[in-house]
Amino acid sequence: MTHDVIIIGAGFGGMGAAIELKRMGIDDLVILERESDLGGTWHVNHYPGLSVDIASVTYSYSFEPNPGWSRLYAPGSELKAYALHVADEYDLVRHMRFDVEATRAVWDADASEWEVTVAGGEVLRTRYLITATGFLSQPKLPDIDGIETFAGDVVHSAQWDDTVELDGKRIGIIGTGATGVQLIPELAKRAGHLTVFQRTPIWVVPKVDFPVPGALQRLFSALPMTQRAARAANGTALEVLSTVGVLNYKYGRGFNSIAALLAKAHMFAQVRDAETRRALTPHYSFGCKRPTFSNSYFPTFARESVTLETETITEVRPEGIVTGDGSVTELDVLVLATGFSLWEKNFPAIEVIGRGGRDLGAWWRDNRFQAYEGLAIPRFPNFFSLHSPYSYTGLSYFWTIEAQMVMLRRLFTEARRRGADTVEVTEAANERFLDRMSHRLERSVFQVGRCAGSHSYYFDPHGEATLLRPSSVAGAQRDARRFPLSDFAFESASAADGSPAEGATAGTGR
């Protein structure tokens, strides 16, 4: 049996694609999910202190507002509950298969179908394949000598184990990215002693957060336009932040300087010790990597029970961590807030072999990381990769999802109208898009700013900042609505036979 569509990943991206396809009447779609439940990042991550770092009115689907967010920045558990609500509301759960890990997809040119293999050996077939495997879904374990010999508990932030005892323990945490900034204050509250191993400091600005009053929740519920207005206001602020401070840094660097000053003033107000302040101050331009928001991070370092360790880690021993100065920090628990293997393991997350045997991962690595409109790749017919180079638009991930929903609708509608069996972006269109994006990056903080030493995952292994789409959200939305459909080849096996191609009123066109 051949499905119309297989989507890999039941996070917000995969669910958004499924919602759009179902709206088009496509019902034979299967969502494969390697985890035991839906929600992606928000199912997997449940470390102490987890909360969203984009205001919740914006970090949600525009067509499914949630008037009940408890705070401006909702805690992670509310995001998971929201994902469950959306899946229920849009009748997605019956399409999902949990604990099923796709490992490989191969284009079968004769049948114009994808063959998808899952762990355990089962093979599924589908006309269209959509990968929605996330950007930050493959935890990165640091390659430190002896780490496997550590005698205590080791826990990665994305594989949090609630049974690990933290109270009164000697805890070490490696990593001071966005996750570390959220986790460290929480660990400090519980640890007997906490040692923070910092390799690269991070910019931290104040977090303006508060509980959403019941009266406001009721207003959002009774008058949804008020929540839409709040979303528009927050969205505009984020749009200015990313277009001026990140994408047009060449002209807007004053904006970044002000943000860096704000972060320094924030630190000055919260950290009295000058040496600690020096150690916590980044030496790369604000914006090279995702800045963080916290009011509790800096004060943590004033606690007697917290040590900031900036010496390089040389090895891990059963009893603890050894640093470059030869000292050993004895630990009971080692927390790894060491981020994710993005370029190595997530681009792509599974082996994908397209037309003519093109291996997507090898092609990206041997050439440049690229995807037309952050969605389609030449020689990969009927394949849409939602988490691709140049796909991430603006600061809230939901803008990316919703622009992609528009693109998918246009492409599926056109394929259906033409009775096409295959849809594939042309090499020429892909090159034009890549040139346009590369050109735009020339004025971004990534090329004009001082990003050396930032260790930012926005940069791919070729040294190009291809993760974010260098365009405004408004521009990306416009492109989603208007990219020329002639950038794609729509082909029909029946037309090639000389028989007329038939349109279809349901399904994907066959």
User: Where does this chain bind ligand NAP (CB under 6 A)?
Assistant: 51-53, 136, 142, 144, 174-180, 182, 199-200, 290, 313, 337-339, 455, 457
CB of 289 to ligand NAP, least distance (A): 7
CB of 176 to ligand NAP, least distance (A): 4
Give 291's DSSP letter. Answer: -
Give yes or no for a contact between 105 and 384, defined as CB atoms under 8 angstroms apart. Answer: no
* 3-state DSSP assignment of residue 225: helix
Task: Supply the DSSP string of 145-194, one letter for each residue.
Answer: TTGGG--SEEEEGGG--TTS--TT-EEEEE--SHHHHHHHHHHHHH-SEE
CB of 228 to ligand NAP, least distance (A): 22
Nearest residue relative to ligand NAP (C-beta): 177
Please state, in angstroms and rounded to a whole number, the distance separating the CA atoms of residues 247 and 58: 20
Please state, in angstroms and rounded to a whole number, the distance separating the CA atoms of residues 155 and 11: 23
Of 277 and 436, the one with the shorter C-beta distance to ligand NAP is: 277
Strands 488-491 and 422-425: antiparallel
Of 16 and 180, the one with the shorter C-beta distance to ligand NAP is: 180
114-144 core/surface letters (b: 16 or more CB in 10 A; e: else): bbbbbeeeeebebbbbbbbbbbbbbbbeeeb
Please state, in angstroms and rounded to a whole number, the distance separating the CA atoms of residues 352 and 125: 14
CB of 57 to ligand NAP, least distance (A): 15
Of 136 and 191, the one with the shorter C-beta distance to ligand NAP is: 136
CB of 110 to ligand NAP, least distance (A): 42
Cα–Cα nearest to 181, from 160, 198, 156: 198
Of 144 and 386, the one with the shorter C-beta distance to ligand NAP is: 144
Of 90 and 135, the one with the shorter C-beta distance to ligand NAP is: 135
Phi, psi of 126 (to 5 degrees): -150, 150
Q: What is the largest distance, in Å, between two alpha-carbon atoms of the chain?
A: 80
CB of 332 to ligand NAP, least distance (A): 19
Give yes or no for a contact between 118 and 101, defined as CB atoms under 8 angstroms apart. Answer: yes
Helices assigned H by DSSP within 40-170: 41-44, 76-89
CB of 503 to ligand NAP, least distance (A): 42
Of 128 and 284, the one with the shorter C-beta distance to ligand NAP is: 284
CB of 323 to ligand NAP, least distance (A): 11
Of 174 and 280, the one with the shorter C-beta distance to ligand NAP is: 174
* 3-state DSSP assignment of residue 82: helix
Of 4 and 464, the one with the shorter C-beta distance to ligand NAP is: 464
